Amino acid sequence: MERQLEAIVMSEADVMNRLDLTKKQLDHLRWNKSFPCVQLSRTTRVYLIEDVLDFIERLSRDQSYHRSLLDTLAARAVRKEERIGNHSR
């Protein structure tokens, strides 16, 4: 079964519209966060929907990991402060 090209590929304008991004934000994601694209020419890029979804899922997992790490560090800091407070009495 042949898949429609529109079902697997998005233009840069489509990506910006669907993710509510500006060109500058999309460029930042590509340059600094390795946002996946296929460069067809010097100025033309397309985006594979599956790659974009994988990127978003990975970003979500990374952010969840960092949030849980920050929560753990904050809890340790609170316990340390409590120990210090108990020793100073």
Tens-level pLDDT at each residue, the chain (89 residues): 457 887 899 999 999 999 999 999 999 999 998 999 999 999 999 999 999 999 999 888 888 877 777 777 778 878 877 777 766 55
Angstrom distance (rounded) from CA 8 to CA 22: 22
The answer to whether the beta carbons of residues 10 and 37 sit under 8 Å apart is no
What is the count of structural domains for the chain?
A: 1
Angstrom distance (rounded) from CA 21 to CA 55: 15
Query: What is the reported pLDDT for 42?
Result: 93
- Say how many CA atoms lie within 13 Å of 39 toward its Cβ: 6
Angstrom distance (rounded) from CA 36 to CA 26: 11
Q: Where are the alpha helices (DSSP H) in 1-89?
A: 5-8, 12-19, 23-33, 49-87
The whole domain housing 43 covers 5-87
| pLDDT tens per residue across span 39-60 | 999 999 999 999 999 999 988 8
